[in-house]
Amino acid sequence: MRVLLWHGYLLGGTGSNVYTRALAREWSHAGHDVTVVCQERAPEQYDLGGAQVVVPELPGLLLPVFVLDRYAGLEPKLLQDFTASERGAYVEANAAALRELLPADVVFANHVLLGGAVGERTGAPFRVKAHGSELEYSMRGRPDLEKWGAHVLAAAEVTYVGSEHIRKVLEDVVGHVHRVQEVPPGVDVDEFILRDRDEALAALLEEARNDPPNPGNREERLPDEGNAERLAQFLAGDEPTVLYFGKLIEQKGVQVLLEAMRGVDARLVIVGFGPYRATLERLAPARTLFTGALEHRHLAQLLPLADVTVVPSIFPEAFGMVAAEAASAGSPPLVARHSGLAEVAAGIEARYPPHLQHLVSFDTGDAADLHGKLVELLALPREDRDALRHAARAAVVDNWSWASVAQRLLAPV
């Protein structure tokens, strides 16, 4: 099949970016002809399985976003702050890029807005993946965007959602949508695997030594300068280790984790970038290391070193990708129990021994509950912790491998 995969952003760092490059890789490996239309200027740094990348030129360099981040060479602006003419120009520029690549068997667009609008403007049949960020951060409570979203989805062949939670959010924001299918995101179960601690640490330090220069950490989307030496020193010895990785914004609830860590006899690694980093650094207890942004090549080695990975988000999540990746690598996730995170928690919980199932989740925003669960989990005997590692991994292999997800997204509708 010839597949056109539209994504408005980059191919690394955040959930929908990782989702897009994983689909490109899996579809390419399955023998499909895949072209990704996105804003990634350095696609060679990612394994796309041979997929081609086309970068449309954006009018006025304006990039509609749901959370304000910095993008080199572009001017990010909140989608809800775009004028009607700016939205129209952006949609047409991207649709024109897709039209030049037609015909295609499948046109697949990420995000209801503006992906659905871009797909509709091509004039070709198209499919849409709702990620949730556009619904919660930009569309909800804004009637013009809600109405526009309903209009474009009515024209789509199918709208995919990653969880039952997002199915409900979608209809809450835009009204009833016909032809909705639930297909959860996937995990690269061949990359995120159980590893021996010494082997994983050596591989992590080697990856960090290969990082590009980042003097003064000026580029927030790159790993911090000198991470190899800092990680080697911080992770020396077999002490209990807690990990967070994701965006550093208030909605992700990292501040709840920092509060919960006080009095916990463990070291904490915080991975990610975002405008909340400086505040979090001020709040962080002793024995906390911030690494800046890391890619999958780092995380696949770092996760096996973590006794627990905490997902403390206080805002609804479409799916618990971070939790699933951690589980796949044998780092038992401890998640705030709500939205898509609750669905991932339930899948992992089902594989845990009954007397340990309560250690999968905690009450959202409750630092005291999180603290208690962390203390209990880290105090488990080695045999129980090993049982959780293997059970978490098994849950992911059973439920969320990328190969099966990618195949389902190309099935006839």
Domain count, the chain: 2
- Clarify whether residues 308 and 255 are in a common domain: yes
Decide if pLDDT at 255 tops 90: yes
Give the pLDDT of residue 70.
86
Shared-domain flag, residues 178 and 201 = no
**189 within domain boundaries:** no
**Same domain (yes/no): 177, 204:** no
Cα gap 64→77, rounded to integer Å: 5
CB 319 within 8 A of CB 133: no
Confidence of residue 323 (pLDDT cuts 50, 70, 90): very high
Do residues 172 and 264 both lie within one domain?
A: no
Q: How far apart are CA 219 and CA 70, in angstroms?
A: 9
- Packing angle, helices 339-349 and 382-399, rounded to 10: 110
Q: Is residue 413 part of a domain?
A: no
Nearest to 15 by CA among 193, 246, 229, 177: 246
What mean pLDDT is reported for the chain? 96
Average pLDDT over residues 88-103: 98
Average pLDDT value for residue range 245-263: 97
The CATH number of whichever domain residue 148 belongs to comes to 3.40.50.2000
Contact by Cβ (8 Å): 108, 126: yes
Domain boundary among 155, 183, 211: 183
pLDDT at 356 over 90: yes
Q: Is the pLDDT of residue 214 over 90?
A: yes
* Same-domain pairing of 257 and 132: no
Mean pLDDT, to the nearest integer, of 46-51?
96
- What is the model's pLDDT at position 103? 98
**259 and 351 inside one domain:** yes
In a domain, 230, yes or no: yes
Q: How confident is the model at residue 318 (pLDDT cuts 50, 70, 90)?
A: confident
For residue 407, is it within any domain? Answer: no
Same domain for 238 and 149, yes or no, is no
Domain of 143 in residue numbering reads as 2-183
Residue 356 and residue 271 share a domain: yes
Q: What is the pLDDT of residues 224-253, one digit of tens each?
A: 999 999 999 999 999 999 999 999 999 999
Residues 143 and 212 placed together within one structural domain of the fold = no
Residues 58, 12 share a domain? yes
Q: Which two tokens stand for residue 4?
A: 């056109």
Same domain, 153 and 215: no
pLDDT (mean) for 94-104: 98
Residue 89 has pLDDT above 90, yes or no: yes
Q: How confident is the model at residue 13 (pLDDT cuts 50, 70, 90)?
A: confident
- 338 and 305 housed in the same domain: yes
